[in-house]
Structure formats: C-alpha cells, structure tokens
Amino acid sequence: MTHPTSRRSMLGLLGAASLAGATLVAVPGAADAATSRSAATPKGLRPGGEYERFVAEQAAQDRFSGTVLVAHRGRPVLARSYGMANKDRSLPNGPDTVFCVASITKTFTALAIAQLAAQGKLGFHDPLGAHLDGFPAEVANTVKVHQLLTHDSGIGRPARGEGSPEEATWNSFDEVMDGTLAIIRKTPLQFTPGSKHEYSNDGYFVLAAIVARVTGQSYFDYVRTHIFAPAGMSHTDFYSRPQVLADNTISRPYLTQPDGTRIDFASSPFAPFTIGGPAGGAYSTASDMLAYAGALTSGKLLNPAFTGLMTSGKVALPPLQPSSQAEFYGYGYDDAIVNGERVFGHSGGGPGIATRLDVFPGLDWVSIVLGNYDTPINPIVELGRKLITT
C-alpha cells in the first residue's frame, strides 16, 4: 500500500459494451481525395495503422487504459478504447466513458477569464486587488491577472507540497474553494511576481475566484453555462468523489503503487472530496473534448483575436515533449512548434490519471488521449504528433 496522499500533494501531481479496438468512424476517401498534408489522412493514423497498433500494444502490456481519438476537420478518423473503467464491476472503457481530464481543466479556467476580458469586464493587466479582497498589499497590488494565467505570479504554495489538515474536512465544492482561497491568502509570495515561471495550481483557484466575483456566479456554474453548454459538451462536468463512486459512466483512476500494482484511487481512504477544482477537476469524454476544440478554434466560445491571444505562447519553457522544437506557456495553454507546425493544448496528470489535448490549427487536426492509469502517455502523444506533422 502506498503512503496516504494529501489533497495538496495530489493537486501538485495534477499538472470511456467493450469497444477495445473498435473504430467509431473513419473519414471516407480522405487519403484519396487529399492533395495536401492538412487534408490527407496519414497512413499511420488510418484504422490498422501504426498509431492504432502502438496504442493496442501499450494496452496489451497494461501500460495504457483509456480512450484515444484523432480527428481531422472535426471528424474522428480513429477512435479506440482499451482497458477497464471499473475493474471491480467489469466495466470496460468506451467512447462514452467519462475521465478526469486533470490539468486540461486549466484551459477552461483561462477561457473564462479571456471571455470576461473580451467583454471588457476585466483586464489582463489588472492587479489582483482590483477584483478580490483579503490579500496583503504586497500581493493585491503587485500580482497581475496575466501572471496568474502564465504561472509567473509567485502566489500560493509550491506546486508540489504538503497539504493542510483542514483539507481533509472539506465536503463540498464551496468548502474546497473557500478553504483553498483562505490558505492562499495567508501564504507569502514564493517569489517576486513576474521574475520566474513556476507552475501553480493555487493561481488557478485565484483566477476562478475572480470569475465568480466578476460574474456573480460560482465558477462552476459559469463554466457550465458559458463553455460546456455552448460547446455541446453534454457529458462534461465537475464531480465529487461520492459522485465518481456512484456513477458507472465515470472511469475510476488506477493509481500505480511502488510494486507496480494498481489501486482504485477514488475508493482509497486517502482520496480527497474533489480532485483539483478549477485547476484540475473537470471530467469529460473524448467526443466532448473534440467538440471543445472545435468550438474554440471556430470562434464559438471566444472571438478569433482573443483565442489567438489566449493560446499563443507568453513564457519560453524548456521543451516539455521530445518532439517540441520550441515550447511556451500562454494563458492556460502550452504552445509548441513540432516539425515546423504549431501545436497548442494541455496535459493532465495525477493519481490514476494521464491526459493530453493537442490542437494542430494549421493542419486542422486534433489528438486526444484520456487515460485512467498514471503510466506516462508521452509515447502515444509523441507518435500522434509525428504522424500528423510529417
């Protein structure tokens, strides 16, 4: 048995009938009709191709459990599900299985802020104190919304650290939000705002609180109303641990222990009430994530100018993926160059969770990996990137 994992340390890690091997849909004649890379279905991505074979191999070795979906111009080219959503109940992953997307949630939080900025209800340059009270002057007057979005604010606790005893007593989303903000307000700045980049889950709780203050709605209700609903994400929401345990459509996250065995983290005694909130607590399906990518890139959720601003790089980073020729962090999205092509999106991870959303705007491709193992999915992500961009 692993040592109990606190909600705080777990948050730090947070940086779908069996259809295993079943294709949802293939684009008819895409390869024959295509005359350019952006319009062609690479051979390796077709049913039975290199990508499918590799993912199936990973699943056969018990290194991947979940759903992969690769789409061109909004239409799935290849979709496969492997492994079990609930081993105790013998429920397999399928196209409608709901997964915790972990830190991909940060893209929803950043989008909420960008929507409000586009409406003139806040500015990226605004100091924190213009929207929230209760912070020391050195924080309220110096931390900018921009810096919270790019993880350059210095606010809150280190990204990976121990939690506080009171976190174990929280039993509602309101308690999680209010309790986390109370802790952040008491925590000194980790560094001078703008002086360095350090990934911060706490910063995204602060952004969520700003959304609530500016709109008069809870963060969760705002995102449901202004992002999930207009994007057509009918199977996407925020769930508590009791809801996860009660719902057979939600995959259980299987935490890998030091001896290589896996346990259902959601049913373990040290699982928190929620996983991540606005920093990493949304649950979704592969098809909903594809709908999200389409709504974002089509301007349905935000006008194109603000969408470009939000998803484009602001802070230079060391490459997070081996294939990246350049890597940046924008407003809740990372932004990379892979084989001369732009790729933006986000990854997610935690106990029993490994996810990735990749959007290739110049090629009209989207790649989605949603897993309920915490085994690294980088090899799957990297192969998808290679086949799409070369």
Report the Cα 258 to chain-centroid distance in Å. Answer: 25
- Residue finishing a domain among 196, 224, 252: 224
* Domain final position from 224, 250, 284: 224
In a shared domain, residues 35 and 64: yes
- Which of the four pLDDT bands, split at 50, 70 and 90, describes residue 13? very low
Please spell the DSSP secondary structure of 321-338, one letter per residue: STTEEEEEE-SSSEEEEE
The string over 119-155, giving b where at least 16 C-beta atoms fall within 10 Å of a residue's C-beta and e elsewhere, is eeebebebbbbbbbeebeeebbebbbbbbbbbbbbbb
pTM of structure: 0.90
Choose the weakest-confidence range: 150-164, 178-192, 275-289.
150-164
Structure confidence by residue, pLDDT tens digits, 93-150: 999 999 999 999 999 999 999 999 999 999 999 999 999 999 999 999 999 999 999 9
Q: Are both 177 and 216 inside the same structural domain?
A: yes
160 in the same domain as 36: no
Determine the structural domain holding residue 25 and report its residue range.
7-102+227-389
What SS3 class is residue 204?
Answer: helix
Same domain for 183 and 73, yes or no, is no
Last residue of a domain, which of 186, 201, 224? 224
pLDDT of residue 227 exceeding 80: yes
Considering only residues 64 and 318, tell me which one the structure prediction assigns the higher pLDDT.
Answer: 64
Place of tokens 């950043």: 110
Whether 263 and 250 map to the same domain: the answer is yes
Q: 275: which 2 tokens?
A: 């996983």
Q: What is the mean pLDDT of residues 153-177?
A: 80
Please report the pLDDT score of residue 302 as a whole number. 98
DSSP per position, 72-83: ETTEEEEEEEES
Same domain, 242 and 371: yes
DSSP state of 224: I
Assess contact for 111 and 204: CB atoms under 8 A: no
pLDDT of residue 53: 98
Judge whether residue 350 has pLDDT over 80.
yes
Would you say residue 2 has pLDDT above 80? no
Flag whether pLDDT at 221 surpasses 90.
yes
Return the pLDDT at 274: 84
pLDDT reading at 26 higher than 80: no
Where residue 271 falls among pLDDT bands split at 50, 70, 90? confident
Whole-number pLDDT of residue 163: 61
Residues 113 and 247 in one domain: no
Query: Same domain, yes or no, for 169 and 135?
Result: yes
Lowest mean pLDDT among 9-13, 86-90, 176-180: 9-13
**Number of domains forming the structure of the chain:** 2
Do 208 and 252 have their domain in common? no
Answer for the pair 114, 81: CB distance below 8 angstroms, yes or no. Answer: no
User: Based on the domain organization, do 187 and 284 belong to the same domain?
Assistant: no
pLDDT (0 to 100) of residue 40? 73
Q: Per the structure block, which two tokens stand in for 311?
A: 């998803």
Residue 270's pLDDT is 80
Are 191 and 237 in a shared domain? no
Q: How many residues does the chain have?
A: 390
